[in-house]
Structure 1
């Protein structure tokens, strides 16, 4: 498919930072625009990003190599990798091309992933007294997720619990710690399975007592229980708990094919987070997901801490048949955009 034009620009992400945006036009008159999110707690093994200004400069500089040429997704992404752009610049071009040719344009019978609905946030995303970064529950339907989030909001209001809104649209009560968050979820949602993100690479001090948490609460998924260098701890932990809990790599694996391969071969994880902006191209991200599938581990497609109102990540998650998605809580517009897209595509 020939790219007739592409124009880089800036867009604002959810915390007010500038990010890279690209509008692309194809020879068949299809157009698409994509704005690239970024991480608040970005792992050191993620692909290198650049400032929005630098990203726009890089795209303008290589634009003549891209337009008026025929591309497949694979050949375009190979060219972008050879050009050594910042990951946010290369992904803006790669994802806009993918969105123009692959976006789901009509309702059809789709296989939807399960939702990891964000309820409480801590760490870098909210009240620092809550050391876990994310407390989520696993939802089978969009309707249930909407009702459950509303139920939690009503509970906090009736109890008079003062809460800020976390970076990703969950609640972050000022008086809560980890155990209070878990007890509240257990009380309101006794039949729901819980998913946690410890974000251990960004923790200071002692790690939580995972033995206690896993024995006392209905934990179905635990993300980043250890730092991205503690391979031995990951392997021992997955050996011990992996048969009953999803041990999810995010900062450990960083949507990097080599690190996912290593984690699979060592049996350090049984699930992996996939984030396109950690990789830098759509083809590279798909390859990372394919390695996970071949390794028989679950795939969790995820948003980022600093998000935009763009919703192409929803279509992408469905296209690669993700097992789960993380789109945050329902108290911020850029997160609602993803849930609205699921509704448009027929998820009930």
Structure 2
């Protein structure tokens, strides 16, 4: 028997949107401690684990006192006395408290915070870094995928596209990657400044999308890349998160004043991928539109990697099915979509089994919790996505990757092609 859990305590804390979320702290009999905080998404798939919120009038119904109480009264007694290093056993116990995969009774936010806290506490108990719980000797770091311009639900739906991100392609180290991104972020800010007053930033720290449309935003991005002294498609690639479920209705895609059929919509996106150096295209079709996802893979093959987020919701079974359908080429991994570290790890294994890429991602509602940096490193992710290079809840993760790199003695970034 290893170090046993002595206590589990939950509390209400606050995220980057000024909304409450749940933090869980686990302490062992030998004094090791660790904490986990549940993030929250703005655009969420309908198959995601449900956040337990209080409802009513306080904070627009978004308070989490029920989740906190449930963690203290139901979760704690179920975990006290268990070996803290038995992540799968503990996560199975959390599953047993709420057999509904949507976590409607106990809350996906509750299980996420608890599962992450257990992972960090186990590492503390063993005197090692958290990422070593997943992989003792990583030989690469994930390549960062960083938002430069916000959009979609992160910026009042000013553009249909949710995230305009860049990927440092020619950088070989994490330090160079962040330097290249910072130069582009500054240059894009200068491009916006020539257009008029700056409008601030979106949810994840990217520039507010003061643009006419998607193509205009991409032109601004390319201008910024070039003004920073880089070659688009060689030094810096572009990644788009379409989050298409947000504007799909009755089998059609409504953008502005126009409706598109699935085929028309995917052809529009394929044209963008031909005109701009788009290296990854996330959720180009709705979460139930397998035909659209398959078309996207077929029509961008060899140029752009199609990523499933809402379409897959970090679910191993859905990843197996999507791989068989040739509907994705990479899987986005978010622990809070499935509610435990173990379930997310099964999704990673499913992706690798089929030769798919892996992108570990944070959410738009974030905190100082740095779990994503450790998960992405330990799971040998190809990319890691946490938002922009501004705002403290984002830079906390990026700075943690710098520390992890130092602990590893300096390792290269994962290959830029997945």
TM interval, short-chain normalised = over 0.9
2:118 maps to 1:97: yes
Report if aligned partners of 1:126, 1:172 keep a CA contact under 8 Å in 2: yes
- Structure 2 counterpart SS, 1:346: helix
Identify if the C-alpha distance between structure 1 residues 231 and 343 changes in structure 2 by more than 3 Å, giving closer, same or farther: same
Correspondent of 1:124 among 153, 166, 177: 153
Q: Can you give the 5+ residue segments of structure 1 that lack an aligned partner in the other structure?
A: none
More deviation, 108-117/192-201: 108-117
Equivalents in 2 of 1:36, 1:105: separation in Å? 17
In the alignment, which residue of structure 1 is the partner of 2:17? 15
1:146 aligns with 2:206: no
Indicate conservation of the 8 Å contact 1:142/1:343, yes or no.
Answer: no
Aligned residue number for residue 162 of structure 1: 198
State the Cα RMSD in Å.
2.0
Q: Distance in 2 between matches of 1:55 and 1:94?
A: 14
- Deviation at residue 314 of structure 1 after TM alignment: 0.6
Deviates more, 1:9-18 or 1:330-339: 330-339
Q: Which residue of 2 aligns with 1:81?
A: 95
Aligned partners of 1:138 and 1:194 also within 8 Å: yes
| 1:173 matches 2:209 | yes
Contact 1:127/1:172 (<8 A) preserved:
no
Give, in whole Å, the separation in 1 of the partners of 2:239 and 2:108. 29
Separation in structure 2 between the aligned mates of residue 109 and residue 319 of structure 1, nearest angstrom: 7
Query: Pick from 190, 215, 219: which aligns with 2:274?
Result: 215
Ranges of 4+ aligned residues in structure 1 off by more than 4 Å: 105-110
Give, in angstroms, the shift of residue 211 of structure 1.
2.8
Q: 1:249 to 1:288 in 2, by over 3 A?
A: same
Further displaced range: 261-270 or 144-153 = 144-153
Deviations 1:274-322 (A, max 9, x none): 0000010100000011100111010011110111111111111100010
CA separation of 1:180 and 1:282: change in aligned 2, threshold 3 A: same
Q: Which runs of 5+ in 2 are unaligned?
A: 54-63, 99-105, 172-176, 226-230, 249-253, 411-418
Task: Find the residue that maps to 2:18 and give its secondary structure.
Answer: coil
After TM superposition, give the deviation of residue 64 of structure 1 in Å: 1.5
In our comparison, the structure showing a higher alpha carbon Rg is 2
- TM-score w.r.t. the length of structure 2 is 0.79
1:282 maps onto 2:341 in alignment: yes
SS in 1 for 2:405: coil
> What's the secondary structure of 2:200's corresponding residue?
strand
After TM superposition, the structure 1 stretch with the greater mean CA deviation from structure 2, 71-80 or 239-248, is: 239-248
Alpha-carbon distance between aligned partners in 1 of 2:159 and 2:316, rounded to the nearest angstrom: 32
Match in the other structure for 1:269: 328
Question: Counterparts of 2:205 and 2:404 in 1: how far apart (Å)?
Answer: 22
Contact 1:47–1:87 (CA under 8 A) maintained in structure 2: yes
Aligned residues between the structures: 348
Deviation by residue 1:248-278 (Cα, 9 ceiling, x = unmatched): 0000000112211111111100011000000
Q: Distance in 2 between matches of 1:265 and 1:173?
A: 37
In the aligned structure 2, how far is the partner of 1:156 from the partner of 1:263? 39
Q: Is residue 127–residue 174 contact of structure 1 (8 Å, CA) maintained in 2?
A: no
Q: Distance in 2 between matches of 1:122 and 1:313?
A: 22
CA contact (8 A) 2:131 2:374 kept: no
Residues 103-148 of structure 1 show CA distances to partners (whole Å, capped at 9, x for unaligned) of 6279987521111110111111115332110011102422222232
Q: Which residue of 2 aligns with 1:233?
A: 292
What residue in structure 1 maps to residue 415 of structure 2? Answer: none
Cα 1:176/1:26, change in 2 over 3 Å: farther
**What TM-score do you get using the length of structure 1 for normalisation?**
0.94
Q: How far is 1:97 from its partner?
A: 0.7
CA distance in 2, matches of 1:92, 1:173: 32
* 8 A contact 1:164–1:174 mirrored in 2: no
Question: What is the CA-CA distance between 1:161 and the residue it aligns to?
Answer: 4.5
SS state at 1:164 partner: coil
Please give the secondary structure, in 1, of the residue aligned with 2:111: helix
Corresponding residue of 2:38:
36
Change beyond 3 A, Cα 1:109–1:79: closer
Q: Provide the C-alpha distance between the structure 1 equivalents of 2:23 and 2:286, rounded to a whole number of angstroms.
A: 32
**C-alpha spacing 1:165/1:277, structure 2 compared with 1 (3 Å):** same
